[in-house]
Amino acid sequence: MSLVWELAERSLVSIDRSANETRYRLLESVRAFARERLDERGEAATVAQGLSAWFLERLGPWCRIDRAWIGQVGGELDNLRALVPLVADGARRRRSSSPARWPASTTRRVRSAKELRKPSASLTSFRRRR
């Protein structure tokens, strides 16, 4: 956590203390620099997959969809939108490789289309209320 504070002191991370929680946000220039470094090292897809797994665990279709869930998704919407192309690119690269090397987490199937529609319907209704 001391690293975060050091970055905040240097104005590389902004601290947002609202809605009863503290959020740390990278400046766009820092975010772009970090993304370039991940791309150079070929790690962008791996990091995106790990972050998407974290989001799925926290906000997945099995979670209770209520005001708190909608608030969490609303707070992460920009991050989720930025994550989608990275995950899709990683999936395309994995598809071109041998299926025998795919991680088990990438082969999980959604049980039904209903699983996908329910969260997206909540997001749509959340955007309309704004």
Total number of domains constituting the chain = 1
**What is the pTM (predicted TM-score) of this model?**
0.59
- For the stretch 39-67, pLDDT in tens is 999 898 889 989 999 898 988 888 888 98
Mean pLDDT, the chain, rounded, equals 77
Cα-based angle 107, 58, 52 (whole degrees, multiple of 5): 45
Q: What is the domain range of residue 29?
A: 2-129
CA–CA separation, 47 vs 53, rounded Å? Answer: 10
Q: What is the CA radius of gyration of the chain?
A: 17
- For the stretch 7-33, pLDDT in tens is 889 888 888 887 677 888 888 898 899
- For the stretch 63-111, pLDDT in tens is 888 988 888 888 888 888 888 888 888 777 777 765 555 455 544 444 5
Residues 6+ apart with CB under 8 A from 102: 94
